[in-house]
Amino acid sequence: MSCLFSKGQEEEETAPQEEAILKLPNGTEHRIKVLKPTCGQDAFLDIRDLHRATGYFSYDPGFTCTGSCLSAITFIDGPKGVCLYRGYSVPDLVDQAQALEVAYLLLVGEKPSVAQLAEFRKEIQKHMLVHEKVKAMFSNFTINAHPMAIMVAVIGALSCIFSELDPLDEEHRWLACKRLIAKVPVLACWAYKTSIGQPMMYPRADLSFAENFLYMMFATPMEEYQVNPVAAKAINAFMILHMDHEQNASTSTVRIAGSSQANPYACIAAGVASLWGPAHGGANEAVIKMLEEIGVPENVPNFVADVKAKKEGVRLMGFGHRVYKNYDPRAKVMKGLVAQVLQELGIEDPLLKVAQELEKVALADDYFVQRKLYPNVDYYSGIMLRALGIPTSMFTVMFAMSRTVGWVSQWNEMVSEGQMRIGRPRQLYVGPKERKWSESKGAGYVSGTVSTRRSSSFTKRVPDVPTR
């Protein structure tokens, strides 16, 4: 199959139209071009020559106001709560498209024709078989290993099998992207089967992408497995909703890893590791734990009081987002899906009542209103996955499986469009000034004397910067 990657059109459309002037402490001025994206109201100061021209760096921990690349894949309007894949509204895609169609759209840039989709489907099916050597790795994991731990290892291990790869060759990249989209769901299901000690199931060519996932998760060689169409529809929607989300932590990790021209399978394993944490993809698992701890709707006010008091370790999981300062459009779709799936499957989940009460109380509270904290996609997704019989430890794996599409699309965009300058941020050094080893007495480490200074989103703000 020929390569179908599209070229972005952003270069001429982000041509500088305005300039900003930066007054420096020595009285000189530095002119900065203003770049505008093709959608939305954001504007970017192009500071690529800042250090060369002025000697200054910028300081922005967490990259809260730094654009790291040009991208034509996903657009988010945070204040308005809009998310588009290649210009198409994500809620519309959930309603009207199949997961593989959306994968093609993200990767290639355009909606596939009927013939292109059929060929893409065939190619993906062909690549779903996983090397038996990688399958053999699964027997070495302990039975209670977290499936995300297994995923980091086995996706990384694909780079042992596919080591002869030139990221700068378009055919090689296309092959790597297809293999990853095809194989990661298989590895995800095998990780689950390993964790429960059941035989691993091979994918079937007669099933759709979503149906194959359910089959490999829940079938056993002992009896025939009928895919529930309600479940297949829900998985299709889940996958589309999670496929891409511009430059989040895991996608940026994949891009930074790939910027050194590292093997793409290893880059995706790095993305999986980054996704795992509770501030990112691990939030769907953390939401369920939080709802279980709250237990009943009557306990919601006490929990909210603890959140507002910033009690150590207490946070309203599944709420808040770096970019959305409005209801996450994916969360809206997910909330509707949960109601539909639970009703169609005839399931009553007591956690849904706790989640609904918590959302109601939070959205009416000044703490959350002032900080513009709304439910994100992870708030309701866990309740839907529970209804489908998917265990909590698999939630983030499901996210990784879907996000693989975005990761490979973003990796390919970076490589194919020459945005391969190695990712290498600066630091603001706050350690000791130069000193002599021979003159030091050596204080040693005394427990409790080293400040841990946790400055993650989960605790305090970023520490103050010492001034010279």
Ligand X SMILES: CC(C)(COP(=O)(O)OP(=O)(O)OC[C@H]1O[C@@H](n2cnc3c(N)ncnc32)[C@H](O)[C@@H]1OP(=O)(O)O)[C@@H](O)C(=O)NCCC(=O)NCCS
> Stretches 13-21, 50-58, 198-206, 312-320: which one binds ligand X (CB under 6 A)?
312-320
Is 413 a binder of ligand X (CB under 6 A)? no
The answer to whether the CB of 361 falls within 8 A of the CB of 316 is no
Using CB under 6 A, which of 28, 163, 343, 457 touches ligand X?
457
- Residue number with the smallest Cβ distance to ligand X: 320
Maximum Cα–Cα distance across the chain: 79
Q: What whole-number distance in Å separates Cα of residue 357 and Cα of residue 375?
A: 13
- Burial of residue 160, with CB atoms counted within 10 A of its CB: 0-12 exposed, 13-18 middle, 19 or more buried: middle
E strands within 87-230? 88-89
> Stretches 95-103, 259-267, 296-304, 313-321: which one binds ligand X (CB under 6 A)?
313-321
Is 319 a binder of ligand X (CB under 6 A)? yes
Q: How far is the CB of 51 from ligand X (least distance, A)?
A: 26
Among candidate residues 153, 112, 126, 110, the one with its CA nearest the CA of residue 7: 110
Using CB under 6 A, which of 307, 338, 354, 408 touches ligand X?
307
3-class DSSP state of 454:
coil
- Residue closer to ligand X by CB (options 30, 280) is 280
> Stretches 16-24, 138-146, 319-327, 335-343: which one binds ligand X (CB under 6 A)?
319-327
Q: What φ, ψ does residue 136 adopt, rounded to 5°?
A: -65, -25
Q: What φ, ψ does residue 429 adopt, rounded to 5°?
A: -70, 130
- Residue closer to ligand X by CB (options 280, 332) is 280
- Residue closer to ligand X by CB (options 213, 319) is 319
Using CB under 6 A, which of 424, 441, 461, 468 touches ligand X?
461
Q: What whole-number distance in Å separates Cα of residue 302 and Cα of residue 108?
A: 49
The answer to whether the CB of 286 falls within 8 A of the CB of 382 is no
Phi-psi region of 163 (alpha: psi -120 to 50; beta: other; left: phi over 0): alpha
The answer to whether the CB of 462 falls within 8 A of the CB of 62 is yes
Q: What whole-number distance in Å separates Cα of residue 5 and Cα of residue 243?
A: 17
Q: What would you report as the CA-atom Rg of the chain, rounded to the nearest whole angstrom?
A: 24
| Touching ligand X, residues 116-135 (CB under 6 A) | none
- Residue closer to ligand X by CB (options 164, 464) is 464
> Stretches 133-141, 156-164, 225-233, 309-317: which one binds ligand X (CB under 6 A)?
309-317
Q: How far is the CB of 318 from ligand X (least distance, A)?
A: 5
Q: How far is the CB of 360 from ligand X (least distance, A)?
A: 16
Give the burial string for 81-90 (b: 16+ CB within 10 Å, else e): bbbbbbeeeb
Using CB under 6 A, which of 283, 341, 398, 400 touches ligand X?
283
Is 322 a binder of ligand X (CB under 6 A)? yes
Using CB under 6 A, which of 315, 335, 386, 403 touches ligand X?
315
- Residue closer to ligand X by CB (options 174, 374) is 374
Between the alpha carbon of residue 172 and those of residues 1, 87, 158, 167, 415, the distances in Å are 12, 27, 15, 7, 12
Terminal CA-to-CA distance of the chain, rounded, Å? 59
Is 321 a binder of ligand X (CB under 6 A)? yes
Q: How far is the CB of 42 from ligand X (least distance, A)?
A: 16
Q: How far is the CB of 373 from ligand X (least distance, A)?
A: 5
- Count of residues interacting with ligand X (CB under 6 A): 18
Q: Count CB atoms within 10 A of the CB of residue 394.
A: 22
- Residue closer to ligand X by CB (options 326, 419) is 326
Using CB under 6 A, which of 185, 318, 329, 406 touches ligand X?
318
Q: What whole-number distance in Å separates Cα of residue 151 and Cα of residue 153?
A: 5
Identify whether 131 is a catalytic site residue.
no
Contact letters for ligand X, residues 354-393 (x by CB under 6 A):
-----------------x-x--x-x---------------
Q: Of 77, 244, 321, 328, which residue is the catalytic one?
A: 321
Using CB under 6 A, which of 161, 262, 279, 363 touches ligand X?
279
Residues 6+ apart with CB under 8 A from 314: 303, 306, 307
Identify whether 378 is a catalytic site residue.
yes
Residues near ligand X (CB under 6 A): 279-280, 283, 307, 315-322, 371, 373, 376, 378, 457, 461
Query: Catalytic positions, please?
Result: 321, 378
